[in-house]
Amino acid sequence: MSSTPRKRAERKTPAERRTEIATAARSLALGEGLSAVTLRAVAARAGVTPALVAHYQPSMDALIAETFDAIVAVEIEEVGALVAERRTPPERLAILVGTLLDGSREDVTVVWVEAWALGRRNESLAASVRHRMDAWQSVIVGIIDDGVETGDFGPVDAAAAAWQLLGMIDGLNAQALVRWDGAGERDTLTTRSVEGLLGLRPGALAPHVVGGAG
Amino acid sequence: MSSTPRKRAERKTPAERRTEIATAARSLALGEGLSAVTLRAVAARAGVTPALVAHYQPSMDALIAETFDAIVAVEIEEVGALVAERRTPPERLAILVGTLLDGSREDVTVVWVEAWALGRRNESLAASVRHRMDAWQSVIVGIIDDGVETGDFGPVDAAAAAWQLLGMIDGLNAQALVRWDGAGERDTLTTRSVEGLLGLRPGALAPHVVGGAG
DNA sequence: GCAATTGTTGATCATTTGATCAATACGAAT
DNA sequence: ATTCGTATTGATCAAATGATCAACAATTGC
């Protein structure tokens, strides 16, 4: 009547098993946070023994880093695809900000926040965090560069502005993790801030194009 | 050759001891992060037994929450005092942003980030975090309200704008925790963003008044 | 079929953590 | 000086974590 009567796990290809464990770790991280990605928890979710999880990873630090990396990679890919659907830089920026601030990614935000904290004691994780932050920044730089070229945006330092915007988004999302009331005006106010950041006149960004229902 | 030969700790007033333990916890948190505030670590730093630390606190969760609370209270007080030295709302806002982004408070930033993460499993801490975030927001609201009244700022929703600004600052600081290169343009770009946020024209905020050396 | 390879497990360690409790000893009150 | 309250301690628990390793068993290759 206690734990599930575990029969021996089917013998699988290393690649398969590796994937299963990675998947288990990811789902755990998204559901309970990165700090829940523990040897035994991952093993339980994957339906195998803790020893097996350890067998496939040099250390838990590495598995945690890998898990963070995978989750954020998907995030970037998804949002990147959404951005690519838009044609003009202002539209792209608006959809990016709107999507990242729509509050539908709390699970990923938790992973980010925990990664910042855990990264201070997990060098592999810290490296992944830096890597993925660079990746995010690159996406934004691409948009801003385009906009500067087309004249949609003012002549700003794209790299610096991208870091700035990324920081804003991260901070607002982290804040939303704690402050229930929530999204509210975040999108609107962020848009105004970005207008200031990029040297646009008020209202230049994010007209009806974005949330357009109909 | 190993650990210090501990003689029995002097018997002190509960108030004194309580203060000592709180101080030890605070210095630990600022030096090593909130997650380093552990029963034994605090005891060691305070020069007492783990049992004594436990004796003065209902639980470690409570001590951690209290420690966070104390650290942030000081932060708010210090910056608040700095702000109060300035007379006009734009100056006040500029000094606030400039101070919080000058990179000289990494230790406190670590505490914030860890609090966001740990707060998900420590209800007392989560409550303190909400409380102190509200306090910070109030400070900013005060400045913005004044500015709106004097006409220095546009007719914005002070509460929402304050949350927005707070989120920006938190995010940029958290980012600086990971990204070595550092401060750079953060202050400048944030100022521009805030101008957009508050409906000012570019350059209206943060003239020479702020970093004015001389 | 048989042996070799290796995926998989159970058992077990060493650490670290928060917490409890009877016993000790210091300081104040009488 | 003796008593009493309590600050302080040492010992000890229980739980959780990462990690290791000899043994077992399924798949593969011959």
What CATH number has the domain bearing residue B19?
Answer: 1.10.10
Is the pLDDT assigned to residue A164 strictly greater than 90? Answer: yes
CA B42 to CA B126: how far, in whole Å? Answer: 21
Clarify whether residues B129 and B188 are in a common domain. yes
Quickly state the pLDDT bin for A6 (edges 50, 70, 90). low
Query: Are B176 and B85 part of one and the same domain?
Result: yes
Q: Cα distance from B29 to chain A (closest Cα, Å)?
A: 13
Same domain? B87 vs B180:
yes
Domain carrying residue A28: 9-57
Q: Which of B137, B66, B75 is nearest to B104 (CA)?
A: B75
CB-based contact (8 Å) between A33 and chain B? yes
Q: How far is the CA of B122 from the C1' of C24 (A)?
A: 35
The Cα A210–Cα A202 span in angstroms is 16
Is residue A36 located within the same domain as residue A67?
Answer: no
Query: How far apart are the C-alpha atoms of A152 and B146, rounded to whole Å?
Result: 34
pLDDT of residue B148: 96
pLDDT of residue B6: 61
On whether residue A207 sits in a domain, the answer given is: no
Please indicate whether residue B4 or residue A168 has the higher confidence score (pLDDT).
Answer: A168
Whole-angstrom distance, CA of residue A174 vs CA of residue A109:
7
pLDDT digit of tens for each residue in chain B (214 aa)?
444 556 788 899 999 999 999 999 999 999 999 999 999 999 999 999 999 999 999 999 999 999 999 999 999 999 999 999 999 999 999 999 999 999 999 999 999 999 999 999 999 999 999 999 999 999 999 999 999 999 999 999 999 999 999 999 999 999 999 887 655 678 888 999 999 999 888 888 865 444 433 3
Q: Which of B130, B167, B192 comes nearest A197 by C-beta?
A: B192
- Where b means 16+ CB within 10 Å and e means fewer, A90-107 reads bbbbbbbbbbbbeeebee
Q: Domain with A158 in it: what CATH number?
A: 1.10.357.10
A194 touches chain B (CB under 8 A): yes
Cβ-based neighbours of A190, under 8 Å, separated by 6 or more: A97, A101, A168, A169, A172, B164
Q: How many CA atoms lie within 13 A of B19 on its CB side?
A: 4
Is residue A10 very low, low, confident or very high in pLDDT (cuts 50, 70, 90)? confident
User: Residue A93 and residue A206: Cα distance in Å, rounded?
Assistant: 8
Residues of chain A contacting B155 with CB distance shorter than 8 Å: none
Which residue did the predictor score with more confidence, A144 or A209? A144
Is residue B99 a part of any domain in this protein?
A: yes
For residue A160, the chain B residue with the least C-alpha distance is B185
Interatomic distance A49 CA / C6 C1' (Å): 16
* CA contacts within 13 A on the Cβ side of B141: 11
User: What pLDDT, on a 0 to 100 scale, did the predictor assign at position A207?
Assistant: 60
Contact A115, A33 (CB under 8 A): no
pLDDT at residue A158 above 70? Answer: yes
Instruction: Tell me which protein residue sits closest to nucleotide D24, measuring alpha carbon to C1'.
Output: A8
pLDDT at A208 over 70: no
The gap between A54 CA and D20 C1' (Å) is 10
Higher pLDDT, B207 or A110: A110
Q: B66 and B20 in one domain?
A: no
> What mean pLDDT, rounded, does chain A reach?
91
Strand C nucleotides, any atom under 7 Å to a protein CB? 6-11, 16-22, 25-27
Task: Examine residue B210 and state whether it is found in any structural domain, yes or no.
Answer: no
Counting the structural domains of chain B, the total is 2
Residue A211, pLDDT > 60, answer no
Please calculate the CA angle A168-B136-B169 and round it to the nearest 5 degrees.
Answer: 20
Assess if residue A2 is contained within a domain.
no
